[in-house]
Amino acid sequence: MSPQRKPYPPLAITAVLFTLLFAGMAIAIIWLLGVDDPVSLKHLIEDSGPVQGFGQTAIGLAFACALAYTVLDRERRVSYLFLSYLLMFYFLREADYHYKLSEHAKATQFKRFFLHEQIPLTSKLFLATIVILFLVVLYRYLRDHSSGLLQALQQRLPWAIGAVIWSAVFVSSQLVDQIPLFHTTKGQVFEEVFEASAEVIALVTLILFRVQLWGDTRGAAAPGT
């Protein structure tokens, strides 16, 4: 069994951090729901709007950080390489990259992309390859790190808590997308804010993991430890 690790940053600071993130989500939702003009609201929450742009910037930064640590962190290079691919797929999916593969893709959802008759077979095969690789990498990543995540949760490490919070927010965004009640412009506010928030939480969780490593190193170097 691995030795007990001290959470970095302290749990009180972590609680404040995620409280601020949830407060930001609530403020964003209240502000957007207060926009009376449907056209203005659609501009705010659609692809080129600030809500999606903010989230995509966050997940793009997370992808860039994972790539940088693939080069800089020799001990965890393979793990960061896999993580960077997962974050790349996350970024491309949230940026609706599949729309760029065919002019007809804009008229269909991602899950129906492969069934659309007018989308070229080459585009379908290309996207299928990316998806299959994603599933393989995801399986390998979870297989190698699920036990470490469970141990980190038992030790209440902030990055592990962040991973669980990200999962809850991301799943909530996908559930909202499937509920007919939210299939309106106002309802879409909840989906888009939750999706953007999940992307921000992914970046925060990656940063918290590096802070934990810094704290572990500092603790190991402290006298008397």
Yes or no: say if 198 and 24 are a contact pair by the CB < 8 Å rule: no
One-letter identity of residue 222:
A
* Contacts of 141 by beta carbon, 8 Å cutoff, 6+ apart: 79, 82, 83, 86
B/e letters for 30-52, b = 16+ CB within 10 Å, e = fewer, are eebeebeeeeebeebbeeebebb
DSSP code of 5? Answer: -
Helix axis angle for 121-154 and 158-178, nearest 10°, is 140
The rounded distance, in Å, linking the Cα atoms of 199 and 166 is 8
CA distance 177 to 193: 12
Distance (Å, whole) CA 28 – CA 26: 5
Position of tokens 């585009």?
A: 123
Q: What is the pLDDT of residue 69?
A: 95
Domain ranges of the chain: 11-95+156-215, 102-143
List C-alpha distances in Å: 29 to 16, 34, 194.
20, 9, 9
According to the model, what pLDDT value does residue 98 have? 65
Q: Is the peptide bond before 50 cis (omega within 30 degrees of 0)?
A: no
**Splitting the chain (225 residues) into consecutive groups of 10 residues, what average pLDDT does each group show?**
80 96 96 91 87 94 96 93 94 78 58 70 82 90 92 95 96 88 86 95 97 86 57
Position 111 scores a pLDDT of 61
pLDDT score for 1? 47
Calculate ∠ Cα 206-178-160, nearest 5°.
Answer: 20
Hey, what are 189's tokens?
A: 């506010």
pTM over 0.85: yes
**Rg of the chain taking only CA atoms, in angstroms:** 20
- How many CB atoms neighbour CB 25 within 10 A? 19
Q: Which residues contact 201 (CB under 8 A, 6 or more apart)?
A: 21, 162, 165, 166, 169
